[in-house]
C-alpha cells in the first residue's frame, strides 16, 4: 500500500478506476480493439500500487473492495480461461501481488467484511452491496429496505452498459420486495399472530400485492426502452460470461442465492423432493447469517401446513374431501380464501421468473444449438451458473403451482365476491430515492 494514502483514499481511487478505466478496457477487449492480457497489465500498473493491506480494513471498506475487486477478478479470470482453457486455479497466474495469489488475497479481504462473505465475488457483492438503497413502501410506510455499501447512487458494472445496471437493479428490486413479503408473514410464522385475525388478513393481502408487483416488474424487463434494455445476446455473451469459476467446484454469482426467495419457498411450502439438500448446496455462496436463518426456517412446517393442521385437516386431507366438503370448509373458514390467493400469487411469480429465464437464456440457446451457433463459451449457456437446468426450474414452478391449498380452487372461486375488487394498496418501489414502480 502507498503509505501516503489512507484506506478511504485507496478505496476511492480504486472505485474511480473501476467505474471508468476498467469498463472502457472491457469494452475494448470485448470489441476486439485491445488484447485480453491488457487488463492484467493495467491492473499491475494502475491498481496494485493502490491496494491496501487486507488485515487493517474496516468492514465497510472491505465490502466496497469486495464489490470492486470482485468485478476486476472475474474479468481477469474470464479472459484467461477464454484464451487458454485451463483449470480455474490457473486463472490468476499472471497476476503479481508480490506474494499471495489473487484469489487468496481476495479471500483475506472477504474475511474483513465481517459478514462471512465467500472467498470470491458473489450475489451479495454484485447486487446487495453494489446497487444503492432500495425501498418498498405501502401507503407511505416503509415495508423493507436494503442498503448498498457505497455513499453515492452509482451501480458498478463490467462494461458500463445501461443494460447491466438495469439487470442489477431489477434483481435488487426483487430481493427488497421479497423481503417485504417475508416481513409481512414473519409475525404469523413466529406465532405472534394467528392465521385468521384481521391483521393477518391485511398482511396476506399486502403480501399478495407485493408478489404481483414483482411479477409485473419481471414481465416489464424485456420491454424496457432500448437505451436501458439488456438483450438476450448481451446477457448470454457478455454479462454472464463473467460468472466463471475461480476455483474448481466453487459457486459463481447467481440469482439462486437470493435468500429472501429461498425463505419464501420454505414459508409457503415446497414439495419438490430433496429441495432442502439443493439449498444447502448453495451454502458456500451465502453469508453466514443467511445460512443460519435458512437452517432455522427450512426445518419448520410451512405456513399452509400449520394452517390446515389448525383446522384439523391432515396432510392430503383436502384431496380426500368431496367438492361439497371443500365448499363447507371454505364457508366455515373464509380465511382460506386470502391464503389461497397468496399461494396463487407465489405460483404466478414463479411462472413469470421461469418465463424471463426462458426468454433470456434457454430459448435463444436452443435456437443457437439448432443453428449450430452455440459455440463453447467459458460459462455454459445451457444451464444457470449454479448448474440449474430448465427442467429443474420447470419442476420447481410446477410444485409451487401445485401448492397445499390447490384442491380448494373451485370452492374459493365460488366464494370470491363478484363485485370489483377494492383498489390495490399503493406500493412504491424506489432505488436511490428514484421511484421505479408505483
* Interval 103-158: pLDDT, tens: 999 999 999 999 999 999 999 999 999 999 999 999 889 999 999 999 999 999 99
pLDDT value at residue 419 = 46
What's the rounded Cα separation, in Å, for the pair 379 and 296? Answer: 33
* Torsion region of 126: left, alpha or beta (phi above 0 gives left; psi -120 to 50 gives alpha): alpha
Q: How buried is 323 (Cβ within 10 angstroms: 0-12 exposed, 13-18 middle, 19+ buried)? A: exposed
pLDDT value at residue 4 = 76
What's the rounded Cα separation, in Å, for the pair 67 and 48? Answer: 16
Between 415 and 9, name the one with better pLDDT.
9
Helices (H) and strands (E) in the chain, counts: 19, 4
283 in helix, strand or coil?
A: helix
pLDDT value at residue 262 = 98
Average pLDDT over residues 151-175: 98
What's the rounded Cα separation, in Å, for the pair 309 and 76? Answer: 54
pLDDT value at residue 93 = 92
**Which residues partner with 427 through β-bridges?**
138
Q: How buried is 358 (Cβ within 10 angstroms: 0-12 exposed, 13-18 middle, 19+ buried)? A: middle
- pLDDT of 1 over the 60 cut: no
165 in helix, strand or coil?
A: helix
Q: In 10 A of CB 272, how many CB atoms?
A: 15
What's the rounded Cα separation, in Å, for the pair 178 and 196? Answer: 22
* Interval 376-392: pLDDT, tens: 999 999 999 999 999 99
From 153-157, 316-320, 328-332, 417-421, the region with the lowest mean pLDDT: 417-421
Check residue 251 and report its DSSP letter.
-
* Interval 203-258: pLDDT, tens: 999 999 999 999 999 999 999 999 999 999 999 999 999 999 999 999 999 999 99
The sign of the torsion formed by the CA atoms of 141, 291, 260, 345 equals: negative
Residues 6+ apart with CB under 8 A from 63: 113, 115, 117, 125, 129, 149
Give 38's pLDDT tier (boundaries 50, 70, 90).
very high
- pLDDT of 288 over the 70 cut: yes
426 in helix, strand or coil?
A: coil
- pLDDT of 423 over the 70 cut: no
At 134, give phi and psi (nearest 5°).
-115, 135
The sign of the torsion formed by the CA atoms of 415, 420, 423, 427 equals: positive
pLDDT value at residue 139 = 87
Between 309 and 419, name the one with better pLDDT.
309
* Interval 54-96: pLDDT, tens: 998 999 999 999 999 999 999 999 999 999 988 999 999 989 9
pLDDT value at residue 119 = 98
- pLDDT of 425 over the 90 cut: no
At 91, give phi and psi (nearest 5°).
-60, -30
Torsion of CA 274, 279, 280, 281, to 10 degrees: 90
What's the rounded Cα separation, in Å, for the pair 25 and 75? Answer: 10
pLDDT value at residue 426 = 86
* Interval 289-315: pLDDT, tens: 999 999 999 989 999 999 999 999 998
pLDDT value at residue 384 = 92
Average pLDDT over residues 264-276: 95
Residue 83 and residue 32 in contact, taking contact as beta carbons nearer than 8 Å? no
- For the record, the C-alpha cell of 431 comes out as 432505488
* Interval 337-371: pLDDT, tens: 999 999 999 999 999 999 999 999 999 999 999 99
- pLDDT of 274 over the 70 cut: yes
Average pLDDT over residues 383-406: 96
What's the rounded Cα separation, in Å, for the pair 401 and 394? Answer: 11
What's the rounded Cα separation, in Å, for the pair 195 and 173? Answer: 28
The residue count for the chain:
438
Amino acid at each position: 500500500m502507498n503509505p501516503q494514502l489512507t484506506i478511504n483514499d485507496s478505496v476511492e481511487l480504486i472505485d474511480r478506476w473501476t467505474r471508468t478505466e476498467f469498463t472502457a478496457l472491457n469494452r475494448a477487449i470485448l470489441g476486439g480493439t485491445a488484447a485480453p492480457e491488457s487488463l492484467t497489465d493495467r491492473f499491475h500498473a494502475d491498481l496494485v500500487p493502490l491496494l491496501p493491506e487486507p488485515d487493517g480494513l474496516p468492514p465497510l471498506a472491505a465490502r466496497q473492495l469486495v464489490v470492486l475487486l470482485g468485478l476486476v477478478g472475474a474479468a481477469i479470470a474470464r479472459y484467461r480461461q477464454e484464451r487458454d482453457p485451463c483449470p480455474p486455479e490457473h486463472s490468476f497466474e499472471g497476476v503479481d501481488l508480490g506474494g499471495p495469489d489473487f484469489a487468496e488475497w481476495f479471500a483475506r479481504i472477504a474475511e474483513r467484511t465481517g459478514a462471512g462473505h465467500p472467498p470470491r465475488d458473489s450475489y451479495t457483492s454484485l447486487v446487495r452491496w453494489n446497487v444503492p438503497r432500495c425501498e418498498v413502501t405501502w401507503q407511505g410506510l416503509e415495508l423493507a429496505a436494503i442498503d448498498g455499501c457505497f455513499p453515492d447512487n452509482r451501480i458498478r458494472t463490467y462494461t458500463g452498459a445501461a443494460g447491466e445496471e438495469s439487470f442489477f437493479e431489477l434483481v435488487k428490486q426483487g430481493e427488497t420486495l421479497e423481503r417485504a413479503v417475508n416481513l409481512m408473514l414473519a409475525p404469523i410464522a413466529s406465532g405472534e399472530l394467528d392465521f385468521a385475525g384481521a391483521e393477518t388478513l391485511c398482511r396476506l393481502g399486502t403480501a399478495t400485492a407485493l408478489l404481483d408487483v414483482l411479477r409485473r416488474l419481471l414481465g416489464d424487463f424485456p420491454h424496457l426502452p432500448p437505451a436501458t434494455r439488456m438483450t438476450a445476446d448481451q446477457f448470454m455473451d457478455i454479462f454472464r460470461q463473467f460468472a466463471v469459476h475461480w476455483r474448481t467446484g466453487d459457486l459463481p454469482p447467481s440469482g439462486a442465492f437470493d435468500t429472501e426467495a429461498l425463505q419464501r419457498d420454505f414459508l409457503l411450502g415446497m414439495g419438490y423432493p430433496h429441495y432442502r439438500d439443493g439449498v444447502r448446496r448453495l451454502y458456500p455462496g451465502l453469508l453466514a447469517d443467511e445460512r443460519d436463518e435458512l437452517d432455522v426456517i427450512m426445518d419448520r412446517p410451512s405456513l399452509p401446513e400449520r394452517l390446515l393442521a389448525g383446522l384439523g385437516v391432515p396432510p392430503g386431507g383436502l384431496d380426500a374431501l368431496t367438492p361439497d366438503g371443500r365448499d363447507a370448509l371454505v364457508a366455515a373458514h373464509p380465511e382460506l380464501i386470502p391464503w389461497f390467493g397468496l399461494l396463487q400469487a407465489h405460483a404466478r411469480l414463479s411462472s413469470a421468473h421461469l418465463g424471463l429465464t426462458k426468454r433470456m437464456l434457454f430459448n435463444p440457446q436452443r435456437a443457437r444449438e439448432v443453428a449450430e451457433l452455440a459455440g463453447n463459451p467459458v460459462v455454459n449457456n445451457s444451464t444457470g451458473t449454479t448448474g440449474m437446468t430448465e427442467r429443474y426450474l420447470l419442476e420447481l414452478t410446477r410444485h409451487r403451482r401445485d401448492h397445499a391449498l390447490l384442491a380448494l380452487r373451485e370452492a374459493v372461486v365460488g366464494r370470491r365476491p363478484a363485485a370489483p375488487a377494492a383498489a390495490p394498496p399503493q406500493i412504491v418501489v424506489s432505488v436511490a430515492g428514484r421511484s421505479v414502480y408505483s
